[in-house]
Structure formats: structure tokens, C-alpha cells
Amino acid sequence: MPATVEADPTSPGGPPEAVEVVCLGESMVTFLPSRPGRLADVPAFTRTIGGAESNVACALAAAGHTVKWISRVGADGFGDHLVEAIGAYGVDTSAVRRDAHGRPTGIYFRTATDRSTTAHEVAYYRSGSAASAMSPETMDRADLWSGRLLHLSGITAALSDDCRALMRELAQRRAGRPLLSFDVNHRPALWRDDSGPEVLLEIARGADLVFVGDDEAAQVWDLHSPEAIREALPEPAVLVVKAGADGATAFVREPRAGTDTVTSVPALGVDVVAAVGAGDAFAAGFLSATLRGLPTAARLRHGHLMAAAVLTDAGDVCVPAARAHADRLAALDDRAWGTLRLGPGWTSESGASESGTSESGTFGTGATPAPGASAPGASAPGASAPGASAPGSDADSATRQEAVPTS
């Protein structure tokens, strides 16, 4: 490994035999309502899984990358389900540890409404969970540094003092550390004090690649433009600011010149099926393209495409488009990209070959032109912005059993 993380973000470190990505964070068993309404009025719930970092892990594995998810789960049936469901995506779960001290696997319930609305309710039962015991002492650095890239999110830092200490240690720049990716993922309800803004800024400054939504930067740091965010975060080699329907902007530091190349790509028009999971999917798409060494604009486009794959599917983690299919869409000229609209079924390779790209900018069997469609780069009404992420994935059909060590 290099003495420190390379300034060139297209070249993550690590030996050739290393897994490509390690994702660290809590995943929970999620209970989704059987119908809309207040939690008090919902008669039944469906069991799924949820977790920002495990969502990224599953999406990257489905896209063909080698991925390891690291966490702690309870010695209980919910822990069994998490490990089996995430492993079924092809994610390596061998470094997940069982808690031997009675701490349970976290669970939560949520309503069917969009998280951005005032009607949305979430009931977390994660205080004192097995994952909240993650710390510098309980987590093996050899496991954490076993990939070319390590992906973290700000959610972990809010879980406990021990988790915060672990995140701060991982954000320190030191010899042998892999490329560090950090999604700010500010969740105000998880912070027990007012230290969130300071802690998240500290971790972001220690990362090499940072994802942040313009809305959360305004909320947590009172920063109101991509340029202001970059001024506050000059350290990361790459800063990606997500602006919902307005697209995303990447600031990439040129190693020799010490200046930024700034690239902006508009979001896609999307016929939304379920407005959840887009932020995690965007990060996965961008990271996938980064691992492949693609240009910055292509990374942003692959982020938008992966987000669209989730938004046009009922699950929160879905199988993305085949790589060749996604590459063809990412290579469209600016005009074609700006008029592209994606709907359910667009990820199908057969659908792409049958429908192609028409003058109306539709693609795939599930993408159809509609009167009053959004302007180029705008998302469909009610669409979840690429900067907004919601945990959860429907993986109940998972069947693979993994052996999980106890600690």
C-alpha cells in the first residue's frame, strides 16, 4: 500500500488480492407498513433490512464488485436474517461479529410516506444495539483496511461514544490506510447532543472522498452553496455535492496544480416507484465508476443511473443495470442525457435493445414519454432527490447462511 492515500482518487490503494470495497456500519431489521397511515393505525408490517452502508455494499456487489460488510449484530434471529440477506447479494460477511454480551440487533419501524414530509414517522429500537458497541477495541483494523476503499457514513458516529471514537480513528490520515469514502448522512434524531456538526466536519476533513447533500450541508453547517461547502472542506481529494433535482457537482483536486476541476451533471427524469434509497445508490454508482477509473462526469452519471435503478424499483436495493447497458447511457451526449427519462424496467438489457433511445429521450421498456415530463435534468414530481437517502432493502428471499464469529 502507498505511504498515504493517493491524491489521485481514481487509484484506490491496496494489494491486487484485496477486496475492492469495505463498508462499515449498522444494518437493522426494518419493518415496512402494509398500508399508508400513522404507525398507530398500521395493522401489519413486512420485514426487510436497512442500513446506509450495507445498502451501498449490496448495490456494489450487485454491480460486480468484491465487497465486504463489517458490523456487529446480536446473537439473535434478526442478526441471522441480516447476515443471510446481505450475504445473498454476494457481499462478504465473514468479518461481521456477534455480540456476546446480550446486546440485540437493532430494528425500526417506519411509515410509507416520504421521509421529507412532516407525516413521516420512524420508530427506532437501536439504543444499546450490538452495532453501537463498535469501537477501536472491538473492531479489527486488518479487516477494516482489507480493501482498496473503505466506505463510512455519519450515521455510525451518532450511535454511541464508542462508535464516534472508532470513526475519528479511521478518519486519521496514516500510512497504509485505503482510500476513505465518507457519506455525511446527517440524522439529527440520532445525535444525543449538539456535537454532530463538529464531529461530522472533522471526519469529512479526514476523508479522501466525501458525499454531502446541499440540504444537509445547509442544516448541519449553515453552508448554502457548493463553493461554500468546498471552502469548508478543502482536504478531501474529491467532494461530491448532491442537489436533488438539480443534479450533482464534483470538486476534484488536481494533485500537481493544487486546484480543483469542477464538474456538474444534471439529474435524470425518473418515474418514481418508491422514493427511498437514492442517496446510498448514488454513492454506490459513483464509487463503482471511481474503482473503474472513469472520468468524473461518468462517475456522476453512473451515480444518477444507480439512483434511478432504485427509484424505479419497489425495493430499496435492487439489481442495477448491466454494466454495458449503464455505460451506454452514461456515454450519451449532453442533449440526449438531458432529455432521458427512466421508468420501471429500464435496467433490463432486453428492454434497452428493444426500445433504444428515441427522440423523446425514453429508454427501456418501462420508460415512456409523458405529457408535461420534467425539464432536462429534473426529477419526476415526488421523486426522491439523489441527495436523499433512506435505509432499507427487501431481501426476504435471501437463503444463504454465513458463519458469523462471536466477540
Residues tagged active-site: 280
What distances in angstroms separate CA 78 from CA 49, 357, 390, 393, one per listed residue?
9, 44, 20, 14
- Phi and psi of 329, rounded to 5°? -70, -40
Cα angle for residues 177, 220, 111 (degrees, 5° grid): 100
Q: Report how far residue 284's alpha carbon sits from residue 135's, in angstroms, rounded to the nearest whole number.
A: 25
Q: Report how far residue 279's alpha carbon sits from residue 251's, in angstroms, rounded to the nearest whole number.
A: 18
Torsion of CA 49, 51, 52, 57, to 10 degrees: -70
What distances in angstroms separate CA 323 from CA 169, 221, 282, 305, 306, one per listed residue?
35, 37, 15, 11, 11
Buried b (16+ CB within 10 A) or exposed e, 212-231: bbbbbbeebbebeebebbbe
- Phi and psi of 209, rounded to 5°? -140, 125
Alpha helical stretches, state H, 211-311: 214-221, 226-232, 278-291, 296-311
The dihedral through the CA atoms of 343, 248, 91, 7 has a sign that is positive
- 268 torsion bin: left (phi>0), alpha (psi -120 to 50), beta (else): beta
- For the chain, percent helix, then strand, then coil, each to nearest 5? 30, 20, 50
Cα angle for residues 359, 360, 365 (degrees, 5° grid): 105
Q: Report how far residue 151's alpha carbon sits from residue 387's, in angstroms, rounded to the nearest whole number.
A: 17
